[in-house]
Structure 1
Amino acid sequence: MNALSLLRSYFVTSIRTQLEYPGSSLLLGFGSFLTMIIELAAIWALFDRFGNVQGWQFGDIAFFFGMVSISFSIADFLSRGFDVFGTAFVKTGDFDRLLLRPRAAALQLIGYDFRLRVLGRLLQGVVVLAVATRALDFHWTPYAAGLSLWTVAGGVALFFGLMVLQATLSFWTVESLEIVNVVTYGGVQAAQYPLSLYTQWFRNLLIFVVPIGCVAYFPVLAILGKPDPLGAPDWLLPIAPAAGFVFLALSFCAWRFGVSRYVSSGS
């Protein structure tokens, strides 16, 4: 069985398990959708009360919001095994079982659990993107659509890489460090707003250390046809999502190093 066939088998098994209780899956998905919509409503209320912020309109923020939500929801759908790796595999000793199988451990972790509730956030991202399009009176072109897909792909790679790094730290800490959640989930929140709103040290963090700005801020400017207020060259904006794939590659290098240092818990 090749890798794709194996992932398909994992996917079918996971979905069938969740559909044993379809009401639960639907409620979880709806809850995720509703939570994100309430967040967007709060942003709309802010702009409705105070108007534009440093030249940014509500539609601009909604566009950032929607793109990041779509990227993160797909990454979250694929990375559940890495998200719970410390408690579900290292602490229990179940990672030994994965290592004994004739398949890469990373592949098995990807297929560990495909959560249907993530679809609520994905749907929310699509709805918010439609709202942003209407608010900005934005007209989609083949270039904008292609660049949007490229942006989402880079975002998925980056957020997946963050989950892999979180799992890698579990080889030494067992429990997931809250600082990683600050970067992962906090980074999603930060990426939903333009970098120009933040102070310089925080902007540098989101560009050069954890390049979330490269998979959200820069390419969205290119999609909307806006120049960067921070002075980034126009040629950089559409290619910036490539940083997400570089980050993912580095994360898997760290993962391989962590696996080589793994010591069983003996459970």
Structure 2
Amino acid sequence: MDIFRLYIKSIGMLLKSHLQYTSSFIMQALAQLVMEGGEMMVVILIVDRFESLKGWSGSNLYFFFGMMSVSFYLTEFFGRGITGDFPSMVRTGRLDTFLVRPRGVLTQVLCAGTDPRRITCIAVGTAALIMGSRLSGISWNLLKVLVLVESIAMSMLLILGLFMIEAIFSIFSVKSVELVNAITYGGRSACQYPIDIYPVPLRALFTVIAPFALTLHVPASWILDKPLYGWPMWTAFVMPLSGAVVFAVMTGVFHLALRHYRSTGS
């Protein structure tokens, strides 16, 4: 609980610092809005061109897009320290200062960065989620709300876990590894659409290696009353926990990697 309070206080201070330069913040937030709005336009064009995509209606595509956007950009909003800033911490020597403090390194890293510009991306994702829900005629109940919340929370842990792969490589190579972006940012772009529209190799990648299919698509399809692969209802509650498993495993590997950390001397 003390760590949680520390995190909230740190994020509050970071947000306040970002908002000191109001004009800059507004322009950057609008730039993010244009970028995410462009991706939303792609979905709209697909929906306008095709009545369905392998059995999924256009309204279903909005729902999948919204869930992925909200999950991914919430992670970047609150976890910028690990999703984007860590390689620079290693290069500049900032990580050295974390090692001599009484708090855990991972806690300090997560407290060290936030990206409030992503609020516009979250807004676009939320709009898509609401639009997809209404057009799909989802009959909401408590179970479906719980599954939605669990799916977004576990997807956030999964995304953090995947970004930690880049952080781990940065400890050994100093510079970030662009190959990891194929799983993180590439996964975001690919998994904005239902996983079963892709060929088997991509399905395997996003089910076993980076299990967005389990944290996001299985619960989303159940909420839409179209269970993925015909899997039973309980999978919508259990499969998203794979995100927590990935995060726990990568946290352990991260702490092991820190034992081999050598300062850059900056």
Normalized against structure 2, the TM-score is what?
0.94
User: What does residue 200 of structure 2 align with?
Assistant: 200
| Deviation of the 1:85 alpha carbon | 4.4
Amino acid at match of 2:15: I
User: What does residue 244 of structure 2 align with?
Assistant: 245
User: What does residue 77 of structure 1 align with?
Assistant: 77
- Find out whether 1:11 has 2:5 as its counterpart: no
Distance 1:237 1:146, change over 3 A: closer
Normalized against structure 1, the TM-score is what?
0.94
User: What does residue 187 of structure 2 align with?
Assistant: 187
User: What does residue 136 of structure 1 align with?
Assistant: 136
Aligned equivalents of 1:174, 1:27: Cα separation in 2: 32
Q: Check whether the contact 2:86–2:109 (CA below 8 A) recurs between aligned residues.
A: no
| Deviation of the 1:231 alpha carbon | 4.5
Amino acid at match of 1:157: L
User: What does residue 68 of structure 1 align with?
Assistant: 68
Q: Check whether the contact 2:85–2:113 (CA below 8 A) recurs between aligned residues.
A: no
Aligned equivalents of 2:133, 2:39: Cα separation in 1: 18
Aligned equivalents of 2:233, 2:147: Cα separation in 1: 14
Aligned equivalents of 2:156, 2:254: Cα separation in 1: 18
User: What does residue 31 of structure 2 align with?
Assistant: 31
Q: What is the RMSD of the two structures over their aligned residues, measured on CA atoms?
A: 1.7
Amino acid at match of 2:199: T
Q: Check whether the contact 1:66–1:126 (CA below 8 A) recurs between aligned residues.
A: yes
Q: Check whether the contact 1:82–1:164 (CA below 8 A) recurs between aligned residues.
A: yes
Amino acid at match of 2:240: P
> Can you list the C-alpha shifts for 1:10-57, whole angstroms capped at 9, x where unaligned?
122211211111122222223222322222222222221232121111
User: What does residue 177 of structure 1 align with?
Assistant: 177
Aligned equivalents of 1:85, 1:172: Cα separation in 2: 16
Aligned equivalents of 1:140, 1:71: Cα separation in 2: 20
Percent identity among equivalent residues?
28
User: What does residue 255 of structure 1 align with?
Assistant: 254
Any gaps of 5 or more consecutive residues in structure 2? Answer: none
Aligned equivalents of 2:260, 2:145: Cα separation in 1: 43
